[in-house]
Chain A
Amino acid sequence: MGSYILRRLLQTLLVIVLLSYVFYYLMAMMPGDPVDLMISSNPKITPEDVIRLKSLYGLDQPAYVRYGHWVQDLIKGDFGYSRTYRVPVMELMGARLMNTFILSLASLLLALLISIPAGIYCSLHPNSKLDYTINFFSFTGISLPSFWLGIVLIILFSVKFPIFPAGGTQTVGLDDGTIWDIFADRTKYLILPVLSLSIQQIGRFSRFVRSAMLESLRNDYIRTAKAKGLSHNVIVWKHAFRNSLIPLVTILALSFSGLFSGALLTETVFAYQGVGKLVYDSIIGNDFNVAMVALLISVSMVLVMNLAADILYSVVDPRISY
């Protein structure tokens, strides 16, 4: 088991390095340059200025050289400097990562809270009216374009019935309030984006739980358990649900890995100060440092979570061993 983990970690590292180079190269291939863009807003910039700035930023060097510098800096612990905001990347990203984490975690928890009971209920009463209704809502959930849902929610709950704010992370200047004030305030801003995100997840998860439960309920050992006279609750939770955990763990792992990569579209629509929007802006603005760090974080999360999922399998299913 130990050597397996080690092997996987090494492979993960290799993949991260390769991906980072590919990504860096792709970004370098994007035509145009942040310096060139400055020309449009400041007509007084001369070509000498352009040459000077490009050499100052190192933009006149080929991609692999710049990549090399970037890796060197990274190893030294210097995460780089944001071209757009002129501040160190980590300073920029810290708060944003936290915000995205809160948003993703809240919606994930909400989704699980609703979808697991719903899925189990449906699997226990297949083809009933409620089953069909929930099924239909699940399908709707996974077929919705998330940004559209966000817009519709804003129309309904911020414009037509002004209950919730139309976007933002928190009311400005409230950092000096009490913990409870801050909590209540942040919640106000979180409700619509969390709803928007979780509706999709609820759709996906409940279908999943339902089919996983149906699969495990079909097994012979369930019939045996019933014959043995075990109570309904024990059968459902101790036997059926436990066995449906494997596919559930896969999905959960994938979802956890998405915790930091940010719900880009939702954050854009709600102007939520998260990492997703930052990544988008930095790619478009050719702010390499920020984009690369964001990419690294999300890729590592995915790969680490995959590894965690694989390990969890062996815990949950004694048949599996490495």
Chain B
Amino acid sequence: MKKVKNWLWAAVAATSMNLVFAKDGIAAPSNKELKIGISQEFENLNPTIKQMLATEYLFNLVGRPLTTMDANAKWVPVLIKEIPTLENKKAQIISVGGKKKVVATFEILEKAQWGDGHPLTCEDFDFARTVGLSPNVSTGDRETFSQFEKIEWEAATPKKCKITFEKARWDFYQIGTFYPMPKHIEEPIFKAHMNEKEGYERNSAYVKTPTNPGLYSGPYVVSEIKLGDHVTFTANPRFYGNPPKIQKIIVKLIPNTGTMEANLRSGTIDMISVLGLDMDQAIAFENKAKSENLPFDVHFVQSMTYEHIDVNLENPILKDLKVRKALTLAMDREDLVNSLYKGKLRTAVHLFSPRDPWFTDKPGEISLYKYSAREANKLLEESGWKLEKDGYRYKEGKKLSLELLTTQGNKTREMVQVILQRQMKQVGVELLPKTEQARVFFGETVKKRKFQGLAMFAWISAPESIPRSTVHSVSIPSEKNAWSGQNSTGWSNKNVDQAIDSLELEFNPKKRIELAHVISKEYTADLPVLPLYYRSDIAVTPKNLKNYKVSGHQFSDTNFVENWNLE
């Protein structure tokens, strides 16, 4: 028995020694390979069908659009030489049958080609449009494709595309989500299956042969893809732009954000993308990185995500403007931002983010609400809400009680709910936090305006993006318009409606700012929505990664991945 025991112990010791020394050391990553961790799921990389944010992130490693927004929130040409504008005469406004449209010429770069050498031309864009508009293909939003009335080119110049846009919008060139599809590979498949429901997408080469380099035109091609686990990208020798410095990139899915950090420290991943940590973790990690001198940089960049509380204007309590003002005054957002988020976020004043040229926080142009529980108390008293012994306010026998609804599973939001509950208690308002699963929240409750009082969530926008769907009165979802539109508060303001209508057609940027100021003025005066804060995008990179910039908006930083350098 004893001999066996000793032998067993020896075996255990040997195995564990082996494993210990077989473990990867935490060496700084080199240009040979970079491993990135993401916490969100991705689908297969077909550009016309993809829906998830993570897929977009991955796709930008292998495919590029005509134009995109860079880290400074400026629109830059990607697959083309320059952006067509009215000034450089590459775009004109024409009138067809009384309707104004824009016609613009996009010249694709000479060197642009697919990974198998086939040239990238206008017909690839036209093909993508055809697929996107096909009734049997499950495209997310049609508008990305229906905004183009037609794409034409001449046989002699297959890379010079004349695109006619349905509407004469000044932002016609902002087509960062429109990607070409390799016609030479996908067209036969599409033709064969276009009459079956979801036929094309199930048989697409992106599903069946995802490692075919001809499917991709970006700095990388896919060399291995395991859905739900990881994707391996290798440098594309046929890339039209600067050859990427990093030879191999592996993007790994780590759905449990708790272990994301553990994976980073143990070297399983070298970097955490913007779809990774949440605020709390990132702040804690930053402290750790500093105190333990870890070889990582934590980036916090203000994003275009606007976290806010929608108010149900049908609720009799909330119909009263004084109450809405009091609620805003009672929220100590500065404290939230400073103590909880260590100043990495910014208190919101209205729906336009600070990176937006339409942003303003000048006291004359909008109404500002600085935290003051005393002011809030005063306003509530004036409105007839009297403080009773239990610490809450009552009016005509009714308690000032409101439900604060948000999405389940988002730790940050749950914390904010609890914090706000406490702050509201100080002014005698009872806040009842409630959570719902995201799909119920967005699909039922908010869409059909069924939330009792307040609903907290976020809007993602882009600079100079017109808020038609969120504040125009025509976007109030109701039975009559089949619940379309996202103006769930039910706000209707003539000045705002007019400003929005004019904005779309206004080609003069200064005039646009004026119109936008009208919107923000009414928004802050009327408070149909209680602003909370502007979120930040977070990424963690190894210290030796150069030329990396968090984009801070929906167009991912991987659009510039060929510039990243690990030397």
The yes or no answer to B518 lying at the interface (CB within 8 A) is no
Say yes or no: B259 contacts A33, CB within 8 Å.
no
- Cross-chain contact of A85 among B44, B53, B459, B483 (Cβ < 8 A): B44
Check if A163 sits within 8 Å of B263, measured CB to CB.
no
**Binary per-residue interface labels of chain A (26-65) against chain B in the complex, 1 for a CB within 8 Å, 0 otherwise:** 0000011111111111111111110111001110000000
User: Among B49, B226, B250, which residue has its beta carbon within 8 angstroms of that of A86?
Assistant: B49
Could you tell me which residues of chain A, from 153 to 186, have a CB within 8 Å of some CB in chain B?
Answer: 154, 158-159, 162-169, 171-173, 175, 184
Kindly state the separation between the CA atoms of A53 and B141 in the bound complex, as whole angstroms.
9
Contact of B19 with A172 in the complex, beta carbons under 8 Å: no
**How many A-B pairs with Cβ below 8 Å?**
174
Interface residues of B in 397-443 (CB under 8 A from A): 437-443
Number of B interface residues in the complex (CB < 8 A): 68
User: B141 to A84, Cβ gap below 8 A?
Assistant: no
Q: Which of A11-19, A132-140, A250-258, A267-275 contacts B (4 or more CB under 8 A)?
A: A267-275
Interface 9-residue window, one of B132-140, B153-161, B186-194, B559-567: B132-140
B51 touches A42 (CB 8 A): yes
| Known pairs A43-B460, A87-B227; A173 contacts B250 (CB<8 A) | yes
Q: Which residues of B contact A158 (CB under 8 A)?
A: 262, 266
Question: In the complex, are the beta carbons of A166 and B44 less than 8 A apart?
Answer: no
B19 neighbours in A (Cβ, 8 Å): 163-164, 187-188, 191
Q: In the complex, are the beta carbons of B207 and A166 less than 8 A apart?
A: no
| CB <8 Å contact, A188 and B262 | no
CB neighbours (8 Å) of A36 from chain B are 439, 442-444, 447
With a cutoff of 8 Å between Cβ atoms, the chain B residues found around residue A35 in the complex are: 443
Cβ of B281 under 8 Å from chain A: no
Q: Which residues of B contact A163 (CB under 8 A)?
A: 16, 19-20, 23
A247 within 8 Å of B (CB atoms): no
Confirm or deny: B232 has a beta carbon within 8 angstroms of a beta carbon on chain A: yes
Complex interface: stretch among B197-205, B317-325, B327-335, B350-358: B197-205
> Are A277 and B22 within 8 A (Cβ)?
no
CB atoms of B35 and A172 under 8 A apart? yes
Q: Is A281 an interface residue (CB 8 A)?
A: yes
> Within 8 Å CB of A39, what residues of B?
442-443, 447, 486
Q: Which residues of B contact A96 (CB under 8 A)?
A: 228
- CB of B541 within 8 Å of the partner chain: no
Measured CA separation A95–B226 after assembly (Å): 10
> Are A165 and B266 within 8 A (Cβ)?
yes
User: Contact mask B6-21 → A, CB, 8 Å, 1/0?
Assistant: 0000000000100110
Measured CB to CB, the closest approach of chain B to A99, in angstroms, equals 10
Task: Please count how many residues in chain A sit with their CB below 8 Å of the partner chain's CB atoms.
Answer: 64
CA distance in complex: A162, B143 (Å): 50
Interface assignment of B295: CB less than 8 Å from any CB of chain A: no
Chain B residues with CB below 8 A from A43, complex form: 459-461, 469, 486
In the bound complex, residues from chain A placing their C-beta under 8 Å from that of B138 are 53, 56-57
Q: Given A42-B140, A273-B229, decide whether A32 and B440 contact each other with a Cβ distance below 8 A.
A: yes
- Let me know if B481 is at the binding interface, CB within 8 A: yes
Q: In whole angstroms, what is the CA distance A32 to B22 when docked?
A: 47
Kindly supply a per-residue 1/0 record for chain B positions 202-228, scoring 1 wherever the CB is within 8 Å of any chain A CB and 0 otherwise: 100001000000000000000010111
Q: Are A166 and B262 in contact (CB under 8 A)?
A: yes
The chain B residue sitting closest to A164, CB to CB, is B19
The answer to whether B254 touches A84 (Cβ under 8 A) is no
A167 touches B43 (CB 8 A): no
Instruction: State which residues 459-516 of B face A: CB under 8 Å.
Output: 459-461, 469, 481-486
**Cβ A47 vs Cβ B482 within 8 A:** yes
For A175, what are the chain B residues with a Cβ–Cβ distance below 8 Å? Answer: 224
Quick check: is B144 within 8 A (CB to CB) of the other chain?
yes
Q: A40-B442, A86-B46, A172-B252 are in contact. Are A162 and B23 (CB under 8 A)?
A: yes
- How distant is B145 from chain A, measured CB to nearest CB, in Å? 11
For the complex, give the distance between the alpha carbons of A244 and B51 in Å. 56
* Interface residue B315 (Cβ < 8 Å from any Cβ of A): no
A270 in contact with B259 given A41-B51, A86-B44 (CB within 8 Å): yes
Confirm or deny: B517 has a beta carbon within 8 angstroms of a beta carbon on chain A. no
CB of B35, distance to nearest CB on chain A (Å): 7
When the two chains form their complex, are residues A49 and B140 in contact, meaning their CB atoms are under 8 A apart?
yes
- Is A286 located at the chain interface by the 8 A CB criterion? yes
Do the beta carbons of A281 and B141 come within 8 Å of each other?
no
A85 touching B227 by the CB < 8 A rule? yes
A271 near B20: Cβ-Cβ < 8 Å? no
Complex Cα gap A304–B440 (Å): 37
Contacts of A268 in B (CB 8 A): 255-256
Chain A stretch 268-294: residues in CB contact (< 8 A) with chain B: 268-271, 273, 277-278, 281, 284, 286
Q: Is the CB of A40 within 8 A of B438?
A: yes
- Is B238 interfacial (CB 8 A cutoff)? no
Closest to B24 in A: A171
Which of B141, B228, B262, B266 interacts with A278 by CB under 8 Å? Answer: B228
- Residues of A close to B437: CB separation below 8 A: 31-32, 284
Is residue B94 within 8 Å, beta carbon to beta carbon, of the partner chain? no
Residue of B at shortest CB range from A175?
B224
Closest approach, in angstroms, between the C-beta of A183 and any C-beta of chain B?
A: 12
B459–A51 CB distance below 8 A: no
Are A173 and B232 in contact, with the CB atoms below 8 A?
Answer: yes
What residues of chain A lie closer than 8 Å to B367, measured between beta carbons?
A: none
- Once A47-B483, A86-B49, A168-B268 are accepted as A-B contacts, the answer to whether A173 and B263 lie under 8 Å apart by CB is no
Q: Which residues of A contact B (CB under 8 A)?
A: 31-49, 51-53, 56-58, 81, 84-88, 92, 95-96, 151, 154, 158-159, 162-169, 171-173, 175, 184, 187-188, 191, 268-271, 273, 277-278, 281, 284, 286
- 24 of the cross-chain contacts (CB-CB < 8 Å) are A35-B443, A36-B439, A39-B442, A39-B447, A41-B53, A43-B459, A43-B461, A46-B484, A49-B140, A85-B43, A92-B228, A154-B259, A162-B266, A163-B20, A164-B19, A165-B23, A165-B263, A165-B268, A166-B266, A167-B262, A167-B263, A173-B250, A184-B22, A268-B255
A163-B19, A175-B224 given. 16 additional CB < 8 A pairs? A32-B437, A32-B438, A33-B439, A38-B51, A41-B52, A42-B140, A43-B459, A43-B486, A44-B141, A53-B138, A56-B138, A81-B202, A86-B201, A95-B226, A166-B268, A270-B259
